[in-house]
């Protein structure tokens, strides 16, 4: 593998708070090592279109506290084709780019794996997704901010729930992963949590609500991950309403609020650490791997493993949440 002198960084898939901190870290680590670094705008779509610009230290000043991504992000159907990837390769070759840092989730890693293997270009992945569903790291960039945003929203909803004795079904993001729902549920003291990883028992919830009603226990929050097998918050609320006509049921969908906002300190530090490690990996002739942090230590996981395996939820946390809700 020849010595790397020019690298590029891009963000792909859904945006996540902390991506800018990772971009900043990549650029400043690269310039420290006398590398030329480029930013590819709009992910794989921008790579195909040649939307590439040289980045200097000053270009990433005052962005660590900003949500979203200054490089923008987009999904690209063209990149899924051999012809599209060939065009992308020709675009980065025009800038003599010799290595890539891809910030994103599972789809980003999949594209990076194929592209790296087809054109023999070194690529390192950085986990950037609020869902925290990427294998090979304890936490992904954006997750901590997302759950703190959700917690703040739920706390505000609890105020009105308490005031009016209402039961709120609150839907958070998580089409395939229940990490956000589980942590939000535990952190907010919710009475029940519905996750994609578990069946979720509607009849059990109705029975629980009736029991708590007889005990006159205040029970006013149910957290629902959007990918729950029983449906979203609206569907579950409708099913419960038919059996509990005496409850005043409300539904709130937090939605894309969870994606935005200034990243938390944890996400800024994590993103900075991962961006720095990604550049270090390229300099050490690593390729086809994703960088992560497990048990406080930086680790590298092959793309094939990171893509094929799941970052499974801790079942002990699920059991604990059920116990604490009693």
pLDDT at 213: 61
Q: What is the mean pLDDT of residues 109-114?
A: 98
Does the pLDDT of residue 209 top 70, yes or no? Answer: yes
Dihedral pair phi/psi, residue 200, rounded to 5°: 75, 120
List Cα–Cα distances, 271 to 55, 57, 127, 235, in angstroms. Answer: 18, 17, 9, 36
Give tens-digit pLDDT for 150-198: 999 999 998 887 777 778 999 999 988 999 999 999 999 998 999 998 8
pLDDT at 307: 97
pLDDT at 245: 67
pLDDT at 234: 94
Among the listed residues 159, 67, 134, 80, the one whose alpha carbon sits nearest the alpha carbon of residue 112? 80
When pLDDT is cut at 50, 70 and 90, the band that residue 206 belongs to is confident
d(C-alpha 133, C-alpha 254), whole Å: 19
Q: DSSP letter for 123, please.
A: E
- 190 CB burial (10 A radius; 0-12, 13-18, 19+): buried
CATH homologous superfamily of 144-259 equals Phosphofructokinase domain (3.40.50.460)
24-38, 97-111, 198-212, 245-259: lowest mean pLDDT where?
Answer: 198-212
Count CB-CB contacts under 10 A for residue 146.
33
Q: What is the mean pLDDT of residues 3-17?
A: 95
147 touches 177 (CB < 8 A): no
Q: What is the mean pLDDT of residues 230-256?
A: 86
Does the pLDDT of residue 230 top 70, yes or no? Answer: yes
Residue spans of beta strands (DSSP E) within 47-194 = 52-55, 99-104, 123-127, 167-172, 192-194
Count CB-CB contacts under 10 A for residue 248.
13
d(C-alpha 83, C-alpha 310), whole Å: 30
What is the residue whose two structure tokens read 């279109």? 49
294 forms beta bridges with 297
Residue 235, C-beta contacts closer than 8 angstroms, at least 6 positions apart: none
Count CB-CB contacts under 10 A for residue 165.
11
List Cα–Cα distances, 248 to 141, 168, 214, 251, 260, in angstroms. Answer: 37, 9, 16, 10, 31
- The model's pTM: 0.94
Among the listed residues 175, 168, 163, 324, the one whose alpha carbon sits nearest the alpha carbon of residue 258? 175
When pLDDT is cut at 50, 70 and 90, the band that residue 1 belongs to is low
Higher-confidence residue of 124 and 215: namely 124
CATH code 3.40.50.460 region(s) in the chain? 144-259
Query: Where in the sequence numbering do the catalytic residues fall?
Result: 131
pLDDT at 217: 55
Q: What percent of the chain stands above pLDDT 70?
A: 96
Among the listed residues 35, 26, 37, 48, the one whose alpha carbon sits nearest the alpha carbon of residue 92? 48
Give tens-digit pLDDT for 59-101: 999 999 999 999 999 889 999 999 999 999 999 999 999 999 9
pLDDT at 208: 79
When pLDDT is cut at 50, 70 and 90, the band that residue 3 belongs to is confident
Give tens-digit pLDDT for 244-289: 766 788 999 998 889 999 999 999 999 999 999 999 999 999 999 9
CATH code 3.40.50.450 region(s) in the chain? 6-142+263-308
25-29, 127-131, 201-205: lowest mean pLDDT where?
Answer: 201-205
136 touches 288 (CB < 8 A): no
d(C-alpha 39, C-alpha 9), whole Å: 5
Does the pLDDT of residue 128 top 90, yes or no? Answer: yes
pLDDT at 84: 97
pLDDT at 215: 53
286 touches 34 (CB < 8 A): no
CATH topology of domain 6-142+263-308: Rossmann fold (3.40.50)
What is the residue whose two structure tokens read 């594209």? 111
């Amino acid at each position: 593998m020849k010595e790397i002198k020019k690298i590029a960084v891009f963000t792909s898939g859904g945006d996540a708070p902390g991506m800018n901190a990772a971009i900043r870290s990549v650029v400043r680590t690269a310039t420290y090592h006398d590398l030329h670094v480029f930013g590819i705008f709009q992910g794989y779509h921008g790579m195909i279109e040649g939307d590439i610009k040289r980045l200097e230290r000053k270009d990433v000043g005052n962005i660590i506290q900003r949500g979203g991504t200054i490089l923008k992000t987009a999904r690209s159907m063209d990149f899924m084709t051999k012809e599209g990837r060939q065009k992308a390769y020709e675009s980065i070759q025009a800038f003599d780019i010799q290595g890539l840092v891809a910030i994103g989730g599972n789809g980003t890693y999949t594209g990076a794996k194929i592209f790296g293997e087809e054109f023999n270009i070194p690529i390192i992945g950085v986990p950037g997704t609020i869902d925290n569903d990427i294998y090979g790291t304890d936490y992904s960039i954006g997750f901590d901010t997302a759950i703190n945003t959700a917690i703040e929203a739920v706390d505000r909803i609890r105020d009105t729930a308490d005031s009016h004795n209402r039961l709120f079904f609150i839907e958070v993001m998580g089409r395939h992963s229940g990490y956000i729902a589980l942590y939000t549920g535990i952190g907010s003291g919710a009475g029940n949590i519905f996750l994609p990883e578990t069946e979720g028992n509607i009849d059990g919830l109705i029975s629980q609500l009736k029991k708590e009603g007889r005990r006159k226990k205040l029970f006013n929050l149910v957290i629902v991950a959007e990918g729950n097998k029983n449906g979203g918050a609206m569907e579950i609320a409708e099913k419960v309403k038919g059996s509990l006509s005496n409850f005043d049921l409300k539904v709130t969908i937090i939605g894309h609020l969870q994606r935005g906002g200034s990243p938390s300190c944890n996400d800024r530090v994590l993103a900075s650490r991962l961006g720095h490690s990604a550049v270090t990996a390229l300099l050490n002739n690593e390729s086809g791997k994703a960088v992560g942090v497990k048990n406080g230590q930086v680790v590298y996981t092959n793309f094939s493993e990171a893509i094929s395996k799941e970052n499974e939820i801790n079942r002990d946390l699920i059991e604990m949440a059920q116990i604490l809700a009693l």
